[in-house]
Amino acid sequence: MRRRAKRGKTVLLCPKCGSVRVTLVAGSIIGQVYHCSKCDYVGSLVFETEVNEDGTPVRAPASDEG
């Protein structure tokens, strides 16, 4: 039996604006619905990322494409 790697604290990010002000508004057996209070996004897609020691979300570096 394999053990999962220990994960740090995580936070949810809005896919539209990148804000951490995302809350769960509905959830059931068919899935969850989240709401961003910054841009009013409502949907089931959100990003989960780890948090740095200072409390800021870990974000992927910007790509150098075009």
Q: Each residue of 41-58: pLDDT tens digit?
A: 999 999 998 887 777 777
Q: What is the pTM of this model?
A: 0.68
The answer to whether 31 touches 44, Cβ cutoff 8 Å, is yes
In a domain, 2, yes or no: no
Does residue 60 belong to any structural domain of this protein?
no
Structurally, the chain folds into a number of domains equal to: 1
DSSP secondary structure, 3-35, as one string: PPPP---EEEE-TTT--S-EEEEEEETTEEEEE
What does the pLDDT look like over 4-21, one tens digit per residue?
555 678 889 999 998 999
Query: Is 31's pLDDT higher than 80?
Result: yes
Instruction: Evaluate whether residue 16 is within a structural domain.
Output: yes
Task: Judge whether 17 lies within some domain.
Answer: yes
Within-domain flag for 30: yes
Q: Is residue 3 part of a domain?
A: no
Note down the domain range covering 40: 10-50
Say if 1 falls within a structural domain. Answer: no
More confident residue, 63 or 20: 20
Q: Is residue 44 part of a domain?
A: yes
Indicate whether 34 pLDDT > 90: yes
